[in-house]
Structure 1
């Protein structure tokens, strides 16, 4: 049996285990270990299992993940999300569909300090959905804008998705984080345009909210100081090269802790909860990374990624068409799998193809993250949708899925623009 055939059997076995609902980190580890046994023998495979988890876990680069998660946890308990929403609510709430537009902007701002799409969606869902329903917003628009806005957490820096992509592909994490900034602004703007179009066609979906006086508007700006300070320190420090992404994550986590202390929102129980949630999320990501490292080692032994790369690049097809096929495959995977799992599972196979086709790896990272964003709100899984269901138990899942279609169209437009004009993603990194 050829090594390439063993690799193909391994991939099919992995999907079979996933279909049986085995946890993806464990599934990749099992398939990688058994496959390596077939190729190298039992003893070298067992030695590998003893070495790889330790080598992966002690990587300095991975320390950025728990630090960014901790920063997001401290930012949440400090009330930054509520303050941001109140500010944009006062400035935009009087417009038709204004509360939904305010929600998208609040999601974008909170994403700039949380780094997590699920955290952004869950937090803003609890804050914004009751407010919109109170002013008679259509439940489809109220939930759709939060589900879509929550996906910005994986695109706007700091983004854990970009950190994982950078580690797996050995690209500059700093440049990847900065590459997500302009696409994040673009996608937020397209979401707002989608809301404007919806409310123009069906005014009853987003009726006018109360108008705030200028004094109230100006006063509300004071609630944004925490978010602006964290964003300036973390992103400004990375862009100027004052400190590395890992150092920025540590400083950001400490800054968020200080803000929660200044605002007197930190208690012993909330502090313990922050550490506990950070530990859970970190363990979740690290188990996937460790499993993926074993599986990637197995794939490298089979030579399947190289063979597949040579086959794809040798096809008599334009490289743009091959890229389109890869994007469609990611969209389909995003319908049934979790974002980080897809990234870690597929990059060892896909990235060599991207390199062989001579696409810019930073640009592809941005495109890939946006595609995976779409998976967060695409049926039948749509993790952000089910997170919102918990925040709005009175609204059916079907209603939320109906509300996301205009935003899916906006995301497709964003992907097309970034594919046609790579400088949208590469402009800021090229000046670092």
Structure 2
């Protein structure tokens, strides 16, 4: 059999394993190992696993994963997420739809310490959903705003999606982090605009909350200020070049632990829970990196990426037509796969095509992450939708999907703007790195 045929069989095996609920990391590992065995022999396949398993996780850049995950977990168990939400609620809650807008703002703020879409949706959802239910918000708007707001965790730095993308494509983590800032702010603004439009169309779905006195607003904001300062210090420190993303992750985690201890909000049980969750998440992400690093050489030998690039170019769609085809493929994949699975399986295939078309790899990283975010709130998988449904309890799944639809349209608008105006993603990294 030809290398291309074996490559296609390897892709079929990969999806077959995932259909049978094999974890994506081990599905990639098995498909890459068996495919390389068929192409190059058992000795080469065995050597590939040994060298790539070590080489994939030996890089110090991967330290940002456990450190930023720990930062988010400590902030969650210490209750700092509640402070972020309360501060947003105090300032915008008195507007019609203000509580849903506060949920989006809270998600955006917590995204800057968690780096995880699911963690953001769960954390803010536990705080915001009961309050919105108490004030009489429509279930669709309440759950939709949290599910959509949670997707910001995959875009606003420190994003685990950007870390994995940087490793797979050998791009700068710092540049990707900076590239996510303005698109994250743009999507946050579009989500808040969506809440306002929903409230304008049907005011009964989004009643206004109580008006908090100015003095009380500043007091509540002051309570959230230490964690906000940690966020500004870590991301701002990367921007001004004071420290690298690896150093920023360690400094941020240490400061949040210190803050939690000083304020008396961290006990041994909470610390143990945060550490355990960090270990589980880190192990999962490291295994995905190992699996991707075994699968990628197999793809390279089979020439699948090169063949796909030639096929797309032969269609004559041009750069943006080809980009549209890739985005549509992502949308379809998002209906059946979670975000990280989409990222690690697709990037080795589409990245050579994108760079060959002359697109900026940092800009495409932002585009890919946003499209993957869209997959987190689209049926039938919609991971964030299922997570928020679990937190909401008695809200039907169809209601959550219906509620998230306007926010999905807002994401499409944001994606179009970033494609039309690449500087939205590239302005900060280009000004920072030259």
When normalised by structure 2's length, the TM-score is: 0.98
Aligned to 1:42: 42
C-alpha displacement at 1:390, in angstroms?
Answer: 2.1
Aligned to 1:324: 324
Distance 2:417 2:378 in 1: 20
After superposing the two structures, state which structure 1 stretch, 152-161 or 304-313, moved more: 304-313
Q: How do residues 242-253 of structure 1 correspond to structure 2 at under 5 angstroms? A: 242-253=242-253
**8 Å contact kept, 1:179–1:366:** yes
After superposing the two structures, state which structure 1 stretch, 125-134 or 379-388, moved more: 379-388
Distance 2:47 2:348 in 1: 22
C-alpha displacement at 1:10, in angstroms?
Answer: 0.8
After superposing the two structures, state which structure 1 stretch, 222-231 or 242-251, moved more: 222-231
Distance 2:52 2:430 in 1: 34
C-alpha displacement at 1:50, in angstroms?
Answer: 2.0
C-alpha displacement at 1:78, in angstroms?
Answer: 2.4
**8 Å contact kept, 1:199–1:206:** yes
Q: How do residues 51-62 of structure 1 correspond to structure 2 at under 5 angstroms? A: 51-62=51-62
Aligned to 1:191: 191
Distance 1:360 1:227 in 2: 34
Aligned to 1:389: 389
Distance 2:227 2:158 in 1: 12
**8 Å contact kept, 1:80–1:226:** no
After superposing the two structures, state which structure 1 stretch, 225-234 or 339-348, moved more: 225-234
Distance 1:106 1:23 in 2: 31
C-alpha displacement at 1:223, in angstroms?
Answer: 2.0
Q: How do residues 158-177 of structure 1 correspond to structure 2 at under 5 angstroms? A: 158-177=158-177
**8 Å contact kept, 2:174–2:244:** yes
Query: Cα deviation per residue 1:240-272 (whole Å; 9 max; x = unaligned)?
Result: 111111111111111111111122111111111
Aligned to 2:291: 291
Q: How do residues 8-157 of structure 1 correspond to structure 2 at under 5 angstroms? A: 8-157=8-157
C-alpha displacement at 1:227, in angstroms?
Answer: 2.6
After superposing the two structures, state which structure 1 stretch, 186-195 or 69-78, moved more: 69-78
**8 Å contact kept, 1:313–1:356:** no
**8 Å contact kept, 1:109–1:227:** no
Q: How do residues 208-223 of structure 1 correspond to structure 2 at under 5 angstroms? A: 208-223=208-223
C-alpha displacement at 1:304, in angstroms?
Answer: 1.4
Aligned to 2:227: 227
Distance 1:63 1:217 in 2: 37
Query: Cα deviation per residue 1:108-131 (whole Å; 9 max; x = unaligned)?
Result: 111111111111000000000000
Moved over 4 A (4+): none
**8 Å contact kept, 1:78–1:263:** no
Distance 2:226 2:332 in 1: 38
**8 Å contact kept, 2:78–2:270:** no
Query: Cα deviation per residue 1:390-431 (whole Å; 9 max; x = unaligned)?
Result: 211121211111100000000000000000000000010111
Distance 1:298 1:350 in 2: 15
Unaligned runs of 5+ in 1: none
Q: How do residues 297-312 of structure 1 correspond to structure 2 at under 5 angstroms? A: 297-312=297-312
Distance 1:87 1:27 in 2: 43
Secondary structure at 1:266's aligned position in 2? Answer: coil
After superposing the two structures, state which structure 1 stretch, 311-320 or 368-377, moved more: 311-320
Secondary structure at 2:101's aligned position in 1? Answer: helix
Distance 1:245 1:208 in 2: 40
Are residues 1:340 and 2:348 paired? Answer: no
Query: Cα deviation per residue 1:184-214 (whole Å; 9 max; x = unaligned)?
Result: 1110000011111111110100012111112
After superposing the two structures, state which structure 1 stretch, 130-139 or 72-81, moved more: 72-81
Secondary structure at 1:110's aligned position in 2? Answer: helix
Q: How many residues matched?
A: 432
Aligned to 1:179: 179
**8 Å contact kept, 1:78–1:259:** no
C-alpha displacement at 1:307, in angstroms?
Answer: 2.0
**8 Å contact kept, 2:154–2:160:** yes
Secondary structure at 2:369's aligned position in 1? Answer: helix
Unaligned runs of 5+ in 2: none
Distance 2:408 2:125 in 1: 18
**8 Å contact kept, 1:87–1:221:** yes
Secondary structure at 1:404's aligned position in 2? Answer: helix
**8 Å contact kept, 1:116–1:159:** yes
Query: Cα deviation per residue 1:133-154 (whole Å; 9 max; x = unaligned)?
Result: 0000001111000000001111
Q: How do residues 359-374 of structure 1 correspond to structure 2 at under 5 angstroms? A: 359-374=359-374
After superposing the two structures, state which structure 1 stretch, 305-314 or 295-304, moved more: 305-314
**8 Å contact kept, 2:138–2:205:** yes
Aligned to 1:413: 413
**8 Å contact kept, 1:77–1:260:** no
**8 Å contact kept, 1:108–1:149:** yes
C-alpha displacement at 1:39, in angstroms?
Answer: 0.9
